[in-house]
């Protein structure tokens, strides 16, 4: 009987205060929705600029252009090639048999075999094209010797390197290779000869390493833009070779900034960038940052002191992608900063979302207080 009386009293109270109850229910629903929309992760676009020592990625588009018009190369080293073919006019004082050939079938005879290309005059890497699912590993710039190095792991389609020798002979040095149908020299003696050709192109379908000796032209842009990628990693493994449990991973980030959901996170040296999938999807731009005592200076103020420091050399990478969470920290398992995307963060700043939730919560407390003060007590 008591519960029945309470129900009747509650129902009379609702009918008597219908407007208040309607406002209360609508407000309560809006509070729960705002909390839901403000907390539940939702994937959003993000962008950032990072200065790194090296990084790795997987190409996600066929015929993707990575390098374009790399002028005045003084040396190209390709290591790890198992088998390839050279075509053109060959000349050699040591091996006159080569002078009769127009095509050479070349095969590796040891693991660390290297093909070295040394131009005798102007020499251009016209383009380096990647097929879908080609993995580019440890792309890095070494400022002390002005070299660009990386490893390529083709999937099912070959990687294409096109050179323009400008009708000048090319010096070819083969270390750890043999030429089919020619007497084999001692394994430790490199094979040297000149190659003359109007078109020099290599189609390579095996994993190999590339090392380019760049020119001193500091304004030369060599990387193409808007490369579609996946599985981007700004880190490298440290392998002891003794026990897998001893192996480590270190960050290659020098500095940077990431922006998502109208929030920013700054990255410092050796911090890890942890991005939930799909993660980085486009490499908007890659630039080589060289050591320079006159340019790219940073100003730092510490109290009353003014410090002038040079920009660190490396690769500056502009990225964009899609994710619901970005984390940063020196330890990837214990990040110290995070940006999490939500439905409301697409349209409002984080402070505005907190203000809305706080205001709604305060309004609910006020309405509940009024409800308890005015609801008739049970007899």
Q: What is the mean pLDDT of residues 258-286?
A: 92
Residue 2's pLDDT is 46
What is the band of 295 on the pLDDT scale with cuts at 50, 70, 90? very low
Least confident span in 57-66, 204-213, 230-239, 369-378 = 369-378
Least confident span in 117-126, 164-173, 175-184, 214-223 = 214-223
What is the band of 157 on the pLDDT scale with cuts at 50, 70, 90? confident
Does an H or E element contain 192, and which? strand 191-196
- Lookup: tokens for 150: 């990386």
Give the separation between CA 148 and CA 159, rounded to whole angstroms.
18
C-beta neighbour count of 193 within 10 angstroms: 22
Pairing of strands 54-59, 135-142: antiparallel
Residue 256's pLDDT is 95
In sequence order, the 6+-apart residues with CB closer than 8 A to the CB of 325 are: 41, 275, 276, 338, 339, 340, 341
Paired with 302 in beta bridges are 305
What is the band of 371 on the pLDDT scale with cuts at 50, 70, 90? low
Spatial CA neighbour of 84 closest among 117, 48, 61: 117
Q: What is the mean pLDDT of the chain?
A: 81
| Between residues 362 and 59, the one the model is more confident about | 59
Spatial CA neighbour of 289 closest among 318, 323, 328: 318
Q: What is the dihedral of CA 45, 49, 50, 55, to 10 degrees?
A: 60
Residue 231's pLDDT is 95
Q: How many helices (H) and strands (E) does the chain have?
A: 3, 29
What is the band of 164 on the pLDDT scale with cuts at 50, 70, 90? confident
Q: What is the maximum span of the chain, computed from C-alpha positions, in angstroms?
A: 117
- Tens digits of residue pLDDT in 61-73: 999 999 999 988 8
- Tens digits of residue pLDDT in 4-13: 555 566 556 6
Q: Which of 9-23, 162-176, 305-319 has the highest mean pLDDT?
A: 162-176
Q: What is the dihedral of CA 153, 239, 213, 156, to 10 degrees?
A: 0
Q: What is the mean pLDDT of residues 15-32?
A: 69
Residue 329 has pLDDT above 90, yes or no: yes
Label residue 350 exposed, middle or buried (CB < 10 Å: 0-12, 13-18, 19+): middle
Give the separation between CA 254 and CA 335, rounded to whole angstroms.
17
- Tens digits of residue pLDDT in 95-147: 888 888 888 999 998 888 999 998 877 788 899 999 999 999 999 999 888 99
Residue 292's pLDDT is 58
Asked if 50 and 253 count as a contact pair (C-beta separation under 8 A), the reply is yes
- Tens digits of residue pLDDT in 71-103: 888 899 999 998 888 888 899 887 888 888 888
Pairing of strands 135-142, 147-153: antiparallel
Residue 36's pLDDT is 65
Asked if 312 and 255 count as a contact pair (C-beta separation under 8 A), the reply is yes
Label residue 123 exposed, middle or buried (CB < 10 Å: 0-12, 13-18, 19+): buried
Paired with 356 in beta bridges are none
Does an H or E element contain 163, and which? strand 159-164
- Total-model pTM: 0.78
Residue 379's pLDDT is 44
Q: What is the mean pLDDT of residues 139-159?
A: 91
Asked if 292 and 310 count as a contact pair (C-beta separation under 8 A), the reply is yes
Q: What is the dihedral of CA 29, 34, 39, 41, to 10 degrees?
A: 100
């Amino acid at each position: 009987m008591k519960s029945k009386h309470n129900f009747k009293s509650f129902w009379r109270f609702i009918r008597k205060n219908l407007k208040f109850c309607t406002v209360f229910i609508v407000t309560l629903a809006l509070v729960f929705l705002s909390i839901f929309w403000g907390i539940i992760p939702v994937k959003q676009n993000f962008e950032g600029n990072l200065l790194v020592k090296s990084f790795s990625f997987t190409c996600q588009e066929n015929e993707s252009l990575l390098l374009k018009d790399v002028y005045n190369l003084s040396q190209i080293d390709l290591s790890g090639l198992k088998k390839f073919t050279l075509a053109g006019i060959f000349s050699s004082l040591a091996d006159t048999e080569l002078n009769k050939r127009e095509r050479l079938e070349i095969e590796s005879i040891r693991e660390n075999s290297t093909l070295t290309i040394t131009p005798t005059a102007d020499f251009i890497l016209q383009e380096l094209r990647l097929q879908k699912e080609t993995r580019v590993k440890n792309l890095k710039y070494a400022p002390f010797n002005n070299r660009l190095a990386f490893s390529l792991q083709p999937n099912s389609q070959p990687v294409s390197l096109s050179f323009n020798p400008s009708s000048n002979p090319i010096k070819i040095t083969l270390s750890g290779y043999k030429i089919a149908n020619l007497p084999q020299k001692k394994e430790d003696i490199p094979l040297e000869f000149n190659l003359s050709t109007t078109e020099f192109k290599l189609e390579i379908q095996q994993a190999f390493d590339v090392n380019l000796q760049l020119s001193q032209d500091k304004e030369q842009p060599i990387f193409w833009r808007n490369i579609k990628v996946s599985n981007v990693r700004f880190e490298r493994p440290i392998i002891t070779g003794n026990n897998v449990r001893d192996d480590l991973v270190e960050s290659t980030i020098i500095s940077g900034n990431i922006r998502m959901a109208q929030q920013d996170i700054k990255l410092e040296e050796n911090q890890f960038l942890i991005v939930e999938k799909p993660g980085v999807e486009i490499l908007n731009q890659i630039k080589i940052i060289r050591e320079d005592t006159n340019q790219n200076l940073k100003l730092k103020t510490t109290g009353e002191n003014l410090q002038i420091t040079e920009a660190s050399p490396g690769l500056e990478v502009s990225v964009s992608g899609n994710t619901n969470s970005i984390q940063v920290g020196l330890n990837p398992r214990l990040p110290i900063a995070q940006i999490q995307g939500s439905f409301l963060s697409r349209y409002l700043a984080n402070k505005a979302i907190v203000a809305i939730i706080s205001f709604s919560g305060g309004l609910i407390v006020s309405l509940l207080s009024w409800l308890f003060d005015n609801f008739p007590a049970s007899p």
